[in-house]
Structure 1
Amino acid sequence: MDADFTPLTAADTPAWAALTTVLAQVDGTEEFYSAEDLAEELAEDGVDPARDTWACWEKDGTGERIVAAGQVRVRTDLLDGRAVALLGGGVHPDRRGRGIGRALMDRMERRARELAAERHPGAPVTLRNPGGLPADPVRPLLLHRGYRLSRYFAQMQRALPDVGEGEGATVPSAASRVAPPGIVPSGVTPAGIVPFRAELSAGTLRARNAAFADHWGSTTVADAEWAALIEARSFVPDCSFLAVDEAGDVLSFCLAQDWQDGPLYLALIGTTPAARGLGLARACIGASLDAAAREQGADGRPRFSGATLHVDADSPTGATRLYEAAGFAVAKTFATFTREVPALGS
């Protein structure tokens, strides 16, 4: 079929959400988004929906539906002298093999290079695209277009602790478990594990940028991008915890999100380099799990079915071992594909 694309708009988000639900179920990504979540994405700082997003529509027996969608973002900072473009999207399973994915990739790659040239003139570009699970049909397309498998990421999950038992990291006794027995990290007081609050946001951003400076593919998160994260409807501050020192500086963090009905998603976990090895991240994770176990929905039933996170399988910090020690187990392994292209016009 001939693919006819139009930009995504706020009015399209219900149909877009319906597509993402099908992709999450069929491709096994479990990445579910509501229409409200997607509307927030379109409104984020630096996103121009008219130029950075695409939807392919077709009529079916009940009206029109989106059978493919995509979007492009370019990070604000360079990574090793290269602009980093993030491409994402998908094609409805019953419309694959008809050239729609190829047409969508043509548009996304072209726009990625244009946007990179606008933000980082003269810089070469790394195109980054999620490759899903091993059987994901996008992988042959990516390889055909010159992408290579660059990194594996593990999805890990666990059950929540029983209410009353907990993980031993509730706020009043946090310092007693943030280090091996008899060792309390210097500067961390018994109230050192605290819930996220607005006045600690800037300090948490500084800690995030310091913690991820040595992570693969990571760049500095700018203020506007950070604001979008902590102001999003998916952010759960009551289940997000920080380790702070006596001066109020953030040393470690575990920030949580709620995507549709299901598990609590631990979206960002990290520790500043100087504070690693003290058990702070595990204490923050434990506090988040304890808080999530106590959360109830409007019907009085548990709000979350468990907890999940993603981790770089080759993280230099040994994060996978940390999460295994916190009770998480690998459920799936995803891949990221990249392609290096020159600056537009070079």
Structure 2
Amino acid sequence: MRWGSLEPGDAGRLAELYAAVEAADRTGEPHGVDEAAERLAHPLIDLAEGTIAARDGDRIVAFGYLPVRQSAEGGKHYLRFSGGVHPAYRGRGLGRRIVDWAVRTAPGLSARAFPGADAELHLLAHSDNDGLRALAERTGFAAARTFADMERRLPGELPALRTPEGVRLATWTPELDDGARRVRDESFRDHWGYVAHTPESWRSQITGSVNFRPKSSFLALAGDRAVGVLITHVFEAQNARREERQAWIQIVGTLKEWRGKGVAGALMAHALAVLSRQGYHSAGLGVDVDNPTGAVGVYARAGFAITRRHITYALPVVQGEARDEAGAGVHE
């Protein structure tokens, strides 16, 4: 076993590991080679310091991935840690070693990116992944928030389109992109774990991603001003496993002063009708179940139902202070 960092040429090997983890855990999040390459080239990841990988020969059998995130709104810096261990290599302490690495590494990465910010490390675990949840709790994380995947079949019974007075719906274009980003940031500002996008992070993660589908993404405009946005991504590796075409509604947001007027409902009804015409078999989205805007109810009225729950675990970290957890996993 050889330990080191992920490297720019690891996309194929990383995609193979993602596929093996998905086959065992049914996370619903397989990544193809293009998606793995995008993650390795992400502007917010430092491969040398923000990743770790265990290799058995030419094979990656475990990894950790720790980008710095793009902003520290209100002096709070969130780091979202992810990783995985090949099913054939579990039970050897690799997962514990990777989590301990993230806990030790996060303070320095955060301090370098946003000196003086309060930092918090986040780890997402599916509610039925008892092993990962137990590992999170053993390493000091606490359950902080529950999120859910919601899905519906297409076409099915589609919601009626009712566009609010003074609002028109438009398909995304590059000229509308800055407005889409501003709506997303303003509409999510009061959500738990909010992180504002920079123009660069928005393009790299959202509208410049290989998963972005511009013809399936829409804005609500009042005059020339964007007041609502719906962004769609498609994950081809996931669809290949499911043997169906699913569109994933990555973002739905409405400016605070326009909430309760039917903007989100109109965007959703329009998007579902277009997705049906485009040949998608289903639509999915993720939602904070404690969302203060009542989003779960909006999506339920559009025919979505919860199919899976996830728990975000959080761990406060002190910038510049590396925690060295006790246990065999740290130095094995």
Q: Could you tell me the TM-score, scaled by structure 2's length?
A: 0.90
One-letter code of the match for 2:215? D
Structure 1 residue 330: Cα displacement:
0.5
2:123 alignment partner in structure 1: 129
2:267 alignment partner in structure 1: 284
1:231 alignment partner in structure 2: 208
Among residues 55, 61, 64, which one is paired with 1:70 in the alignment? Answer: 64
Q: How does 1:143-182 map to 2 (within 5 A)?
A: 143-161=137-155, 167-169=159-161, 177-178=162-163
One-letter code of the match for 1:107? W
One-letter code of the match for 1:329? A
In structure 2, the gaps of 5 or more residues are 240-244, 323-332
1:22 alignment partner in structure 2: 20
Cα separation, 2, equivalents of 1:314 and 1:223 = 28
Structure 1 residue 79: Cα displacement:
4.5
Cα separation, 2, equivalents of 1:108 and 1:14 = 23
Among residues 44, 47, 63, which one is paired with 1:46 in the alignment? Answer: 44
Among residues 310, 324, 341, which one is paired with 2:286 in the alignment? Answer: 310
Structure 1 residue 112: Cα displacement:
1.7
SS at match of 2:67: strand
1:324 alignment partner in structure 2: 300
Cα RMSD of the aligned pairs, angstroms, is 1.8
SS at match of 2:219: strand
Query: Do the aligned residues in 2 keep the contact of 1:235 with 1:257 (CA within 8 Å)?
Result: yes
2:252 alignment partner in structure 1: 269
Structure 1 residue 107: Cα displacement:
2.1
SS at match of 2:66: strand
SS at match of 2:75: coil
Query: Do the aligned residues in 1 keep the contact of 2:150 with 2:308 (CA within 8 Å)?
Result: yes
| Match status 1:336 vs 2:312 | yes
Query: Do the aligned residues in 2 keep the contact of 1:286 with 1:326 (CA within 8 Å)?
Result: yes
SS at match of 1:309: strand
| Match status 1:242 vs 2:219 | yes
2:326 alignment partner in structure 1: none
SS at match of 2:112: helix
Cα separation, 1, equivalents of 2:284 and 2:19 = 18
1:173 alignment partner in structure 2: none
Query: Do the aligned residues in 2 keep the contact of 1:241 with 1:285 (CA within 8 Å)?
Result: no
Among residues 76, 83, 88, which one is paired with 2:82 in the alignment? Answer: 88
Structure 1 residue 4: Cα displacement:
2.9
1:212 alignment partner in structure 2: 188
Cα separation, 2, equivalents of 1:267 and 1:17 = 21
One-letter code of the match for 2:196? T
2:277 alignment partner in structure 1: 294
Cα separation, 1, equivalents of 2:200 and 2:308 = 32
Aligned residues: 314
2:4 alignment partner in structure 1: 6
Structure 1 residue 284: Cα displacement:
1.2
Cα separation, 2, equivalents of 1:151 and 1:83 = 17
Cα separation, 2, equivalents of 1:25 and 1:335 = 21
SS at match of 1:203: helix
Q: Could you tell me the TM-score, scaled by structure 1's length?
A: 0.86
Query: Do the aligned residues in 2 keep the contact of 1:7 with 1:54 (CA within 8 Å)?
Result: yes
Cα displacement string for residues 262-299 of structure 1 (whole angstroms, at most 9, x for unaligned residues): 4110000110101001111121122222222222xxxx
Query: Do the aligned residues in 2 keep the contact of 1:79 with 1:217 (CA within 8 Å)?
Result: no
Cα displacement string for residues 290-309 of structure 1 (whole angstroms, at most 9, x for unaligned residues): 222222xxxxxx4x331111
SS at match of 2:62: strand
Higher deviation after alignment, 37-46 or 228-237: 37-46
Query: Do the aligned residues in 2 keep the contact of 1:122 with 1:344 (CA within 8 Å)?
Result: no
Query: Do the aligned residues in 2 keep the contact of 1:244 with 1:252 (CA within 8 Å)?
Result: yes
1:298 alignment partner in structure 2: none
Cα separation, 2, equivalents of 1:256 and 1:238 = 9
Cα separation, 2, equivalents of 1:236 and 1:155 = 20
Cα separation, 2, equivalents of 1:166 and 1:326 = 7
2:329 alignment partner in structure 1: none
| Match status 1:117 vs 2:111 | yes
